[in-house]
C-alpha cells in the first residue's frame, strides 16, 4: 500500500472538532466546541459515505472524548465525553439524545480537557484545568474517584497505559506515572508543556513504551522507567494529538495544519489540512485508517486502502482547498522575496526529507509554499503566503510585531488595560489561553476571551477579509470579563480620546490560583519535614488551619482568616528557606488587601520590618520573591488602614524597592510601577514634596531603562499623576530631572497608542 489518501469528509459540526475516536471500521465518534458529540455510521462503502447522529447536546464546549470497549456489563461499549461544564458524561451508543446518561461523573472543578479508558474497560482517567487527574471505576458510578495529585498546572493529556499504570502529561512540563491507587511512581521533566500521550504497541522497534508531544513540536518516545529513547522532529508548531498504528507507526497532529505519519525516526508522510489547526487524530486498530478533527469544523477520514478512497472529485477538491489556503507570512518567519527561487526550482531540485517546505516566487509576484512528498517524489503546493489574512491591511504594532487586531482588556475598573494582540492566522483559543497565562488570569476567563476574539474579528479566517480594520486606539472593542457588552463587535468610528491623567484609583493585584499555591506550600513543607527541619515545618494541624485560611481567601472572605493562620503564612513567607518562600509570599499578598489582616500584620507581626530583615529585598534574593513582596505592598492601598501605613512607611518601602528600578524581570518591574501609581494617587491627598521628587527621580530611571510596554505605560501614568499635583513639580521634572529625555526614551521603546496618548498629556504639562 502507498500513502494515505482522503477517504471521506464528514460535515455536520458547527465549530472546531476537538476530539475524535475510531472504535470500529464502520463508526467514528467526534466531540466539538458546538456543544455536541456525534456518532458517524458508514452508509456506503464505495466511495465511503457516513451519516451522523447527535448523541450528546450540552450547553458548553465539549473538548474531550474516550470510548469504553465492549464488556460483559456494557456489550456495546460506552461513549465518555467532557468539557467546560466540568461534568463527564457517560452513555451507551444506542441511547437516544433525550435518554438519560448512564452516568454523570462529578468531581472536577474546571474544564475536562483529557480522557482515556483502560484497555480492559475497567477504568476511566480524566485530566482537567483544575490541575487534577482523576480515576473512575466503570460501572461503579456511586464510588468516589481517585485523585492523582501533584500537578502544578492543567493536566492536558492522560493515558491509561495498563491495569497498573496511569500516565499524565501536564502544562507544568512534566510527565507523571501513577499507580491506580493514586501513588506517584515517577516524574519525568520534559522541558515544555505536554499536550499528548499515546501507548506504543508491545515490542516497539525503538524499545519505547509510550510517546509524548507538546508545545516544543517534538515527539518523544519513552520507556516506563523514564528514559527517553528517541526524538521525532518535523512539526513546526504545537502538537495536540498522538495515535499509534498497530504496526508501530505513529501519527501526530498539530497547530502547523498537518498530520504526520512516522516510521522509525522518519516522517514518511505529511497531510496538510486547509485549516488553522488539526486538533485531534485517532486510528482504527482493525484497518489502520486515520480520522482527524480540525478547526474548520470538519472530520476527515484517511486510508491506504484503494477500495476506501474517496471519489476523485472529493480528493481533488481537498487538494484544491489546501492549495488555495492562505498562509500568513508571520507564521513562516522572515522571507526575503528577492532571494526566493522561481518555479523552475520545482523541477530542478528534489527535497531532502518528507514535509520539507520551500517558498517559490511565482511569475505573478505571489509567494507559494510547496511541500516535498517522498512518496510522490515531487513538490506539492500547500498554499499561498500572504502579507496579512483577514484584516483590511491596516496593521497595528505591539511589542515590535504587527497584528491585525490589538484589543484592550479591562480586568477591573481603575486598572490600566491589558493588551490582547491577535492575527486571524492564529488560533483564537490558543491566543486566549496564552493571554490568561501571561497575565495570571483565572482560567474561567478563557472561553470568554476566546468568544470575544471570534466575535470581534467578525469570524475572519485565512484568505478572507473581515471588512473591518483594527481599532486604531484599542478602546472601542475593549473587553471586560464578565460583561456581556464586552463581546459586541467594535465600532471603528473615531472616538474622543479620554483624559488619562491624573490617575484617581488605586490598583491592586488580587488574581490567584489558590489550590496550586496551597499544593506547592504543602509540597515545600513536606520537603522540610523530610529534611528533619522541625523548627520551620508545619504539623498536620497547622496544615489543616492553613487549608481553612486558603478556602476563605478563595471565597474572598479575607477578613475572616484566623490570626493564627496569618502567623503561619508570615512564617512561611519570611523564615522558610528562600527557595521555598514563594507560596507564603503569594498568600501574604492576598492578606494585605483587607482591613483586619493588615491591622494584625502591622501591629502584631511587624510585617514590614520582618519582610525587610528576611532578605526579600536584598540583591541576592530570588526575583520572584521580591516581585511577590512588592505585589503585597501594592495591595496595602486597598484599605484605609493600609494606605495610612503605606504613607507612614514611605521611606522604608522606597528604600526597599529602589534597588530594583532597572531590573529586566518583567513581573517585578510591573509590580514596582504599580506600587508607584498607588503612591502617586496617595500623594494627591498629601502633597509631600520630598516624596514626590523621590518618586519622580525613580520613575525617570525606570523610563530610561524599561523595555516592557506595560511597565512603561504604568511608569508614565505614575509620572503624569505626580506632575499633576503642582506646577513646581513640572518645573523640577523638566529642568532638574530632565524628564523630557526619559519621556522620549519611553515613547521610542513602546510605540503604542495608549503610550502616545499619555506622553502627549505629560508633554503638555512640561511645556
Closest by CA to 54, choosing from 68, 35, 70, 67, is 35
Q: What is the residue whose three cell numbers read 495591595?
A: 635
- For the chain, list residues with pLDDT below 70: 1-2, 326-334, 386-397, 400, 402, 410-415, 424-427, 442-444, 447, 451, 454-498
How are strands ordered across the β-sheet holding 112-117?
112-117, 123-128, 133-137, 146-148
Residue 710 is predicted with a pLDDT of 83
Residue 546 grid cell? 492553613
3-class secondary structure, 727? helix
CA distances to 341, 437, 449 from 441, rounded to whole Å, are 46, 6, 11
What do you get for the CA distance between the two ends of the chain, in Å? 78
Q: What is the residue whose three cell numbers read 502529561?
A: 169
Cβ-in-10-Å burial (0-12, 13-18, 19+) of 203 comes to: exposed
Residue 264: which residues within 8 A CB-CB, separation 6 or more?
205, 206
Q: Determine the Cα angle at 388 with ends 387 and 394, to 5°.
A: 110
Tell me how far apart the alpha carbons of residues 744 and 735 are, in angstroms, rounded to a whole number.
15
Going by DSSP bridges, is the β-strand pair 123-128/36-45 parallel, antiparallel, or unpaired?
unpaired
CA distances to 12, 56, 360, 622 from 65, rounded to whole Å, are 17, 11, 41, 42
Residue 571 grid cell? 512564617
Tell me how far apart the alpha carbons of residues 435 and 516 are, in angstroms, rounded to a whole number.
19
How are strands ordered across the β-sheet holding 78-83?
62-68, 78-83, 88-91, 103-105
Task: Record the pTM.
Answer: 0.55
Number of Cβ within a 10 Å radius of residue 109: 11
| DSSP assignment letter at 173 | S
Q: Which residues of 204-240 are buried (b: 16+ CB within 10 A; e: fewer)?
A: bebebbbbbbbbbbbbbbbeeeeeeebebebbbbbbb
Tell me how far apart the alpha carbons of residues 581 and 578 are, in angstroms, rounded to a whole number.
5
Closest by CA to 50, choosing from 71, 20, 84, 85, is 20
Tell me how far apart the alpha carbons of residues 594 and 641 are, in angstroms, rounded to a whole number.
9
Task: State yes or no: cis peptide before 502, omega within 30 of 0.
Answer: yes
Residue 381: which residues within 8 A CB-CB, separation 6 or more?
322, 323, 368, 369, 370
Tell me how far apart the alpha carbons of residues 24 and 472 are, in angstroms, rounded to a whole number.
53
What are the structural domains of the chain? 1-26+202-315 (2.130.10.10), 58-189 (2.130.10.10), 327-386 (no CATH), 396-487 (3.10.20.870), 514-766 (1.25.10.10)
CB 470 within 8 A of CB 394: yes
Task: State yes or no: cis peptide before 47, omega within 30 of 0.
Answer: yes
Tell me how far apart the alpha carbons of residues 199 and 495 are, in angstroms, rounded to a whole number.
57
Residue 344 grid cell? 523552475
- DSSP output for 570-615: HHHHHTS-GGG-HHHHHHHHHHTTSHHHHHHHHHTS-HHHHHHHTT
Residue 437: which residues within 8 A CB-CB, separation 6 or more?
none
Closest by CA to 157, choosing from 144, 145, 175, 180, is 175
Tell me how far apart the alpha carbons of residues 491 and 456 are, in angstroms, rounded to a whole number.
10
Residue 260 grid cell? 504526520
Residue 496 is predicted with a pLDDT of 39
Going by DSSP bridges, is the β-strand pair 36-45/27-32 parallel, antiparallel, or unpaired?
antiparallel
Residue 156 grid cell? 492536558
Q: State the SS3 of 662-707.
A: CCCCHHHHHHHHHHHHHHHHHCCCCCCHHHHHHHHHHHHHHHHHCC
Residue 497 grid cell? 480620546
Going by DSSP bridges, is the β-strand pair 401-403/396-398 parallel, antiparallel, or unpaired?
antiparallel
Tell me how far apart the alpha carbons of residues 496 and 297 are, in angstroms, rounded to a whole number.
40
Tell me how far apart the alpha carbons of residues 643 and 197 are, in angstroms, rounded to a whole number.
51
Q: What is the residue whose three cell numbers read 498607588?
A: 678
Residue 683 is predicted with a pLDDT of 92
Cα-Cα-Cα-Cα dihedral sign, residues 437, 441, 446, 451: negative
Tell me how far apart the alpha carbons of residues 417 and 479 are, in angstroms, rounded to a whole number.
9
Residue 592 is predicted with a pLDDT of 96
Q: Which residues of 281-313 are buried (b: 16+ CB within 10 A; e: fewer)?
A: bbbbbeebbbbbbbbbbbbbbbbbeeebbbeee
Tell me how far apart the alpha carbons of residues 652 and 633 are, in angstroms, rounded to a whole number.
12
Tell me how far apart the alpha carbons of residues 219 and 667 are, in angstroms, rounded to a whole number.
32
Residue 652: which residues within 8 A CB-CB, separation 6 or more?
608, 612
The helix or strand, by DSSP H or E, that contains position 547, with its residue range, turns out to be helix 540-555
Tell me how far apart the alpha carbons of residues 421 and 479 are, in angstroms, rounded to a whole number.
12
CB 48 within 8 A of CB 301: yes
Residue 476 is predicted with a pLDDT of 31
Amino acid at each position: 500500500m502507498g500513502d494515505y489518501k482522503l477517504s471521506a469528509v464528514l460535515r455536520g459540526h458547527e465549530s472546531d472538532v476537538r476530539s475524535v475516536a475510531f472504535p470500529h471500521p464502520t463508526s467514528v465518534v467526534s466531540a466539538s466546541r458546538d456543544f455536541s458529540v456525534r456518532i458517524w455510521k458508514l452508509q456506503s462503502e464505495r466511495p465511503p459515505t457516513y451519516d451522523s447522529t447527535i448523541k450528546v447536546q450540552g450547553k458548553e464546549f465539549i473538548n474531550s472524548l474516550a470510548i469504553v470497549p465492549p464488556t460483559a456489563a456494557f456489550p456495546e461499549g460506552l461513549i465518555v465525553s467532557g468539557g467546560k461544564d466540568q461534568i463527564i458524561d457517560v452513555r451507551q451508543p444506542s441511547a437516544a439524545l433525550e435518554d438519560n446518561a448512564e452516568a454523570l461523573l462529578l468531581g472536577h472543578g474546571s474544564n475536562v480537557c483529557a480522557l482515556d479508558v483502560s484497555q480492559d474497560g475497567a477504568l476511566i482517567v480524566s485530566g482537567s484545568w483544575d490541575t487534577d487527574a482523576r480515576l473512575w471505576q466503570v460501572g461503579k458510578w456511586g464510588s468516589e474517584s481517585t485523585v492523582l495529585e501533584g500537578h502544578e498546572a492543567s493536566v492536558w493529556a492522560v493515558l491509561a497505559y495498563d491495569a497498573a499504570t496511569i500516565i499524565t502529561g501536564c502544562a507544568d512540563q512534566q510527565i507523571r506515572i501513577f499507580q491506580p491507587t493514586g501513588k506517584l511512581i515517577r516524574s519525568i521533566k520534559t522541558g515544555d508543556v505536554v499536550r499528548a500521550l499515546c501507548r506504543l504497541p508491545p515490542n516497539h522497534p525503538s524499545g519505547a513504551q509510550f510517546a509524548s508531544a507538546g508545545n516544543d513540536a517534538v515527539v518523544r518516545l519513552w520507556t516506563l522507567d523514564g528514559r527517553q529513547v528517541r526524538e521525532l522532529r518535523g512539526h513546526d508548531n504545537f502538537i495536540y494529538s498522538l495515535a499509534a498504528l498497530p504496526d508501530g507507526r505513529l501519527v501526530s497532529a498539530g497547530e502547523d495544519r498537518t498530520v504526520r505519519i512516522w516510521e522509525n525516526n522518519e516522517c514518511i508522510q505529511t497531510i496538510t489540512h486547509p485549516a488553522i489547526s488539526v486538533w485531534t487524530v485517532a486510528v482504527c486498530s482493525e484497518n489502520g485508517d486515520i480520522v482527524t478533527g480540525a478547526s474548520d469544523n470538519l472530520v476527515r477520514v484517511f486510508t491506504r486502502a484503494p477500495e476506501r478512497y474517496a471519489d476523485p472529485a472529493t480528493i481533488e477538491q481537498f487538494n484544491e482547498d489546501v492549495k488555495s489556503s492562505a498562509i500568513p507570512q508571520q507564521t513562516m518567519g522572515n522571507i526575503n522575496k528577492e532571494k526566493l527561487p522561481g518555479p523552475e526550482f520545482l523541477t530542478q531540485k528534489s527535497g531532502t526529507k518528507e514535509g520539507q517546505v520551500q517558498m517559490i516566487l511565482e511569475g505573478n509576484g505571489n509567494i507559494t509554499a510547496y511541500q516535498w512528498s517522498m512518496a510522490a517524489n515531487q513538490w506539492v503546493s500547500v498554499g499561498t503566503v500572504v502579507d496579512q489574512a483577514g484584516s483590511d491591511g491596516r496593521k497595528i504594532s505591539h511589542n515590535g510585531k504587527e497584528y491585525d487586531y490589538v484589543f484592550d482588556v479591562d480586568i477591573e475598573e481603575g486598572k490600566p488595560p491589558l493588551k490582547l494582540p491577535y492575527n486571524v492566522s492564529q488560533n483564537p483559543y490558543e491566543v486566549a489561553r496564552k493571554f490568561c497565562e501571561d497575565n495570571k488570569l483565572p482560567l474561567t476567563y478563557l472561553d470568554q476571551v476566546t468568544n470575544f476574539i471570534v466575535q470581534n474579528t467578525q469570524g475572519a479566517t485565512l484568505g478572507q477579509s473581515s471588512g473591518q480594520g483594527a481599532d486604531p486606539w484599542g478602546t472601542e472593542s475593549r473587553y471586560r470579563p464578565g460583561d456581556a457588552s464586552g463581546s459586541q463587535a467594535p465600532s471603528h468610528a473615531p472616538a474622543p480620546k479620554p483624559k488619562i491623567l491624573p490617575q484617581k484609583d488605586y490598583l491592586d493585584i488580587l488574581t490567584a490560583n489558590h489550590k496550586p499555591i496551597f499544593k506547592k506550600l504543602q509540597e515545600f513543607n513536606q520537603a522540610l519535614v523530610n529534611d528533619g527541619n522541625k523548627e520551620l515545618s508545619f504539623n498536620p494541624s497547622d496544615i489543616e488551619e492553613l487549608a481553612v485560611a486558603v478556602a476563605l481567601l478563595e471565597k474572598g472572605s479575607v477578613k475572616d482568616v484566623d490570626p493564627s493562620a496569618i502567623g503561619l503564612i508570615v512564617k512561611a513567607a519570611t523564615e522558610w528557606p528562600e527557595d521555598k518562600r514563594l507560596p507564603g509570599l503569594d498568600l501574604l499578598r492576598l492578606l494585605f488587601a483587607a482591613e483586619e489582616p493588615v491591622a494584625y500584620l502591622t501591629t502584631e507581626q511587624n510585617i514590614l520590618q520582618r519582610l525587610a530583615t528576611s532578605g526579600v529585598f536584598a540583591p541576592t534574593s530570588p526575583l520572584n520573591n521580591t516581585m511577590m513582596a512588592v505585589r503585597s505592598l501594592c495591595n496595602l492601598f486597598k484599605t484605609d488602614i493600609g494606605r495610612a501605613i503605606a504613607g507612614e512607611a514611605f521611606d522604608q518601602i522606597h528604600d526597599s524597592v529602589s534597588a530594583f528600578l532597572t531590573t529586566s524581570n518583567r513581573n517585578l518591574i510591573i509590580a514596582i510601577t504599580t506600587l508607584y501609581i498607588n503612591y502617586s494617587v496617595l500623594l494627591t491627598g498629601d502633597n509631600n514634596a520630598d516624596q514626590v521628587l523621590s518618586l519622580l527621580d525613580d520613575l525617570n530611571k525606570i523610563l530610561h531603562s524599561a523595555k516592557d510596554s506595560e511597565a512603561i505605560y504604568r511608569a508614565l501614568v505614575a509620572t503624569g499623576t505626580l506632575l499633576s499635583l503642582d506646577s513646581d513639580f513640572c518645573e523640577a521634572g523638566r529642568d532638574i530631572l530632565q524628564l523630557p529625555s526619559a519621556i522620549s526614551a519611553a515613547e521610542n521603546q513602546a510605540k503604542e497608542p495608549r503610550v502616545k496618548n499619555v506622553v502627549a498629556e505629560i508633554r503638555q504639562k512640561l511645556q
